[in-house]
Chains A and B, each alone.
Chain A
C-alpha cells in the first residue's frame, strides 16, 4: 500500500489519517471504513497498548455517573446495550451491584436512585441475605444492594476486533509507527509524517483530514500542527487478584472515589482505581503507596483483602479534557475526578482556524463507539459523504457456526475450547487445523490462561505481532498467576521459527520479563514473592539469562 520514494522514506495516502490505536482510534477507523471512507490509522506501539487496556475492563451501566454526570450516565447505558449486541464475545454480562456500606451517605443513595431512573438505567434491589449468599466474600455489614447492567469487557479484544472489522471493510492500520508531525499546507492539514519504529524508516501520509485520537498524548500531537489542547493526565492504578473474588462487578454506592470497584475477568479480579495527576502519558508505573491505598480501601467491601493473592498492579493514564477554565491553575488531589469524563470532539478550524484537523479527547472506554460516531460524522460532513453510521447495528465479528464449537470441544478441554473461541471467533478454524495435524500443538503452552501451542504459534506468526507483549495482548499469555514463569520459555521456540522478526531473541525474552516485572514489583509479597524467586531461579539461574547478555542471536 505504501510506495518507496527515496531510500528510507515511505509514502502513503488516504482520505483520513487517524492517529492513535486505542479504542477511540480503531472505533473511528471502523466507522469510516463502514461508510466507505478511506482511512489509515497510525499507532506508535501495538494496538490497545495504552489506556484502552489499562483500566478495570468495566463496561459501565452508567450508574456510577448517575448523580454527578447525568449526560455520561445516559450515554453509558445506551452504549452498554449497543455493545452487548454488536460485541458479545468481547464482554461477559456479569451484571453489577452497587452496595451501600455503613457510613455511606443516605442522601447519595436517594439521588442515585433518582439519577438512574432519569438516565433509564434499570435498577433492582437485592435482599441483603440473598446478596450475601451469592457473594460470600462481600462484607457482612452491607446495608443495601442494587443490581444494574454492568458488564466485564476485554479491552484488548474489543480494540482488535474493531481493527479487524475495519480491515474487512478496507480500513488500514500501521502499528509501531510514530507520528512526529501533523503536516500543514497553509490553513489546511496535509497529512502526517513520522518514523517506522521497527525499521527506523521515515514515512509520510498524505490526507485531507487528520484525526487526533491519541488520548493522553493528544495535546502533544495537536501542538505539532500548531493547535492547542488542555489535557490532564490522570493516572489510575489497579490491582489484579489471582481468582474471581466476586462473580459480578461490585461498586460502592457513594460518591465515586478511589478503590471502590471490583471487576471479575476470566479467572481473576481487578480492583481499582486511584486518581492522581501525572506529568507524562508514559508515567504509568504503579507505586507501593497506591497499592497499599487500594488494599486499605478495598478492605471495606472485601474484609481480609490483604490476605488475598495479588498477581500484579498496573496503571493507565486517563486523558481528561479540561474545558472548565476556572479549574486552570488550581489543581488538587480531587480535581482528577472532578474534571468531566464526558468526551469532547474539537474542531481546530472553529477553535484556531486549522482546517481538516479534529481532536477527540476525554470520554471513557464504554462510550468509545459513540465518540467514534460523532468524530466520523464530522469527518463525513467535511468530505461531503452522506453514508450513515452503521456501527451501532453491524456486529464486530461474523458469528461462527456451531459446528466450530463442537470441533473445538472434541480437540480441547472444554474450558480451553470456550476461551479460545471467545478470543478468536472464526479464526479458531486455523488453530484447530493445526491441532488436528499435530495433536502436540493442542497442549496448553500457557496453563494459567489455557492457551494452546497452536494458538500461540498463530499469534507469534501474525504480521501484527512484533514483540512477545503483542502476542500477550492477543492471547493473554503470561497474564495469569505465574506471570510468565513457564510460558515465556515455552514461547521461545515458536518465536525462534519466525527468524529475524524477534531477533535477538534473548533480549526479547528479557524485555518481556521486565515488563511483567514492572507490575509485580509494587506487589512483591506473599505468594507472588515466592513466584518471583522461582522465576528468577529459572531465568537467571537455570538458563543463565542476563540483562546484558543475549542468548540465541
Chain B
C-alpha cells in the first residue's frame, strides 16, 4: 500500500510527488506519458495572482497563500531558475518578441538586453523553426537604439544535415553544445565575438543553446565577458524537456517511484474512498492500492478529460465535471469557455459535486489542468496553478 499514488506525471503530478516524498511519504507516480513540459517554453507563468485570486472559483481563489509558497518551493527545487515574487521577468519568444514569464532558467532571462547598445544574434545554421531575419527585426523594434548584428555559424559536425537540407532541432544543437567538442567550439566562438567587441555593453542572443540542461555549458557562460541570452523555442523545446528531467530526477532522488508508459485505466471506489488504481500493461491488469490518490491527468491535452460530440467525461474516476454552458468563442486567441471545463474542488482540492458542492471522495486530490474554472492562455497562469495545486496536494497527502 502506497501512501500516495499520483496519476499523471506532468508538472503538477511531479510537484505533488516531490513534496510528499520530501515529507517522508512513499509515493508512486503512474503516468501514461511525460506531460506537456517538452511542448512548453521552459519558463513558468503565474499571471497577475492578486487579480486572478479575486475571480470567484479560479484555482488561485482556493489556493490562497499556497501560490506564493509554491513559488518559493520551486526555486528551492530548481536552483537554476530565477524569479522574484511580484516581479515579472522577460524572455524572448521564438520570434524575438519579449514575453512576460515569472520563473525562468537563468539563460532565458532577457533583462540584459535592456541595457545593451549592441546585440549579436547567433544564427546556428539550419536550426529548425528559427527565423533569424524575423527575430532580428523584432529585436530592433524593441531595442530601438541597439545595433543588432547577425553572427552566422556553420558547424562541420552538422555537415551531413546541411547537405540534405535537414533542419536541426534545438534539442540536437543543445546536445552538441554540451559535448566536449561542443564546449570547445562554444568557448572559441565566445572568444571570437569578445575580441571583436566594440563596446562594453554587448549582449549575445543565442538560440538552441540551453545551458540549463548542461552544468558545463553554464560554467562557460558564467565566465564569458558578456551576457548570453537564450531564446525559448518552438516545440519540442530543450528547455521544457530540461525542466521535466530536472523535476523527474528530483522525485526519484527523493526515493519516489515512477511508472511511465501505461496510464491508469480506472480507479475503483469503495464506500466513498478511492481504493485501487488499475493499470493495464501488456494485456494484463495490475492494481495498486494507496491511502491517497492525486488526479493529475492533464485535462483535455493529457486525456484526463475526454469530450465527444455529445458529452464530456473524466476518464479515471468518472468524476462529474463542470461544463460551461457555451463551449467556444469566435476569436481563437481570446477567451475560450471550453477551457474552464474541469473538476470543482474544495480548499483542500477534494473533488466536489458541481451541483451540490458536496465533497465526493475524501482521499482524492485534484490538481493542475484537471481543475475547473481557469484558462492558462488567457490568465497566463499555467505554471502557477499547476505548481501550487501540486505543491498543496503533496503537502496534504
Contact = CB atoms under 8 A, between A and B. Distances in A.
Dominant secondary structure at the B interface = loop
A481 B160 CA distance: 31
B93 interface: yes
A492 B331 contact: no
B303 A530 contact: yes
A517 B332 contact: yes
B336 A536 contact: yes
Contacts of A533: 299-301, 339
Contact of B95 (A442, A514, A518, A543): A543
B289 interface: no
Interface string A511-552: 001101110010111100110111111111111111100011
A443 B166 CA distance: 7
A167 interface: no
B199 interface: no
Interface stretch (A50-58, A146-154, A337-345, A433-441): A433-441
A551 B97 contact: yes
A292 interface: yes
A489 B234 CA distance: 9
Contacts of B333: 510, 513, 536, 539-540, 545-547
A521 B328 CA distance: 6
A497 B137 CA distance: 11
B249 interface: no
A531 to B, nearest CB: 9
A524 B164 contact: no
B307 A524 contact: yes
Interface string B323-346: 000011011111010110000000
Interface residues of A, number: 50
Contacts of B36: 537
Contacts of A442: 165
Given A442-B165, A541-B376, A292 B39 contact: no
Given A530-B301, A534-B301, A552-B137, A543 B93 contact: yes
B300 A541 contact: no
Nearest to B91: A544
B331 A514 contact: yes
Contact of B164 (A439, A490, A497, A541): A439
Contacts of A551: 95, 97, 138
Interface string B77-118: 000000000000000011101011000000000000000000
A529 B332 contact: no
A493 B134 contact: yes
Given A496-B133, A534-B301, A541 B40 contact: yes
A524 B305 CA distance: 13
Interface in A184-232: none
A439 B300 contact: no
B382 interface: yes
Contact of A525 (B40, B134, B138, B308): B308
A182 interface: no
B307 A544 contact: no
B31 interface: no
Contact of B382 (A541, A544, A546): A541
Given A513-B332, A523-B309, A493 B133 contact: yes
Nearest to B125: A440
Nearest to B93: A543
A490 to B, nearest CB: 7
A542 B235 contact: yes
A261 interface: no
A552 B135 CA distance: 9
A231 B246 CA distance: 65
Nearest to B100: A544
A291 interface: yes
Interface in B120-172: 126, 129, 131, 133-134, 137-138, 141, 162-167
Contacts of A524: 307, 327-328, 338
A541 B138 CA distance: 18
B297 interface: no
A383 interface: no
B300 A530 contact: yes
Contacts of A417: none
A175 B327 CA distance: 36
B138 A552 contact: yes
A553 B138 CA distance: 8
B232 interface: yes
**Most chain A beta-carbon contacts within 10 A, residue among B126, B234, B235, B309:** B309
B306 interface: yes
B94 A542 contact: yes
A413 to B, nearest CB: 12
B330 A514 contact: yes
A8 B235 CA distance: 46
B377 interface: yes
B388 interface: no
Given A536-B336, A542-B93, A306 B308 contact: yes
Nearest to A291: B309
A145 interface: no
Contacts of B141: 552-553
A536 to B, nearest CB: 5
B377 A540 contact: yes
B21 interface: no
Interface in B33-49: 36, 39-41, 45
A63 interface: no
Interface string A479-518: 0000000000110110011000000000000100110111
Contacts of B165: 435, 438-443
A295 interface: yes
A441 B165 CA distance: 7
B321 to A, nearest CB: 13
**Most chain A beta-carbon contacts within 10 A, residue among B36, B141, B234:** B234
A446 to B, nearest CB: 13
A438 B162 CA distance: 10
Nearest to B232: A542
B303 A537 contact: no
Given A493-B134, A542-B41, A552-B138, A536 B309 contact: no
A496 B377 CA distance: 26
B330 A529 contact: no
Contacts of B309: 291-292, 295, 306, 523, 525
Given A496-B131, A530-B301, A544 B93 contact: yes
Contact of A536 (B45, B93, B166, B332): B332
Interface in B176-193: none
Nearest to A538: B235
A538 B95 CA distance: 12
Contacts of B131: 492-493, 496
Nearest to A296: B309
B39 A537 contact: yes
A523 B382 CA distance: 25
A298 to B, nearest CB: 12
Contacts of A537: 36, 39-40, 301, 376-377
Nearest to B306: A526
A544 B133 contact: no
Contact of A552 (B134, B307, B310): B134
Contacts of A440: 126, 162, 165-167
Interface in B1-49: 36, 39-41, 45
A516 B328 CA distance: 14
Contacts of B338: 524, 529
9 contacts: A439-B165, A492-B95, A496-B131, A496-B134, A514-B330, A521-B328, A525-B307, A541-B41, A544-B100
| Chain A to chain B: the 10 pairs with minimum beta-carbon distance, closest first | A439-B165, A440-B165, A493-B131, A540-B377, A517-B332, A525-B307, A544-B99, A533-B301, A521-B328, A513-B332
Given A496-B134, A496-B137, A517-B332, 19 more contacts: A292-B310, A440-B165, A443-B166, A492-B131, A513-B332, A513-B333, A521-B328, A525-B309, A529-B338, A532-B336, A535-B332, A536-B333, A537-B40, A537-B377, A540-B333, A542-B41, A542-B232, A543-B99, A551-B97
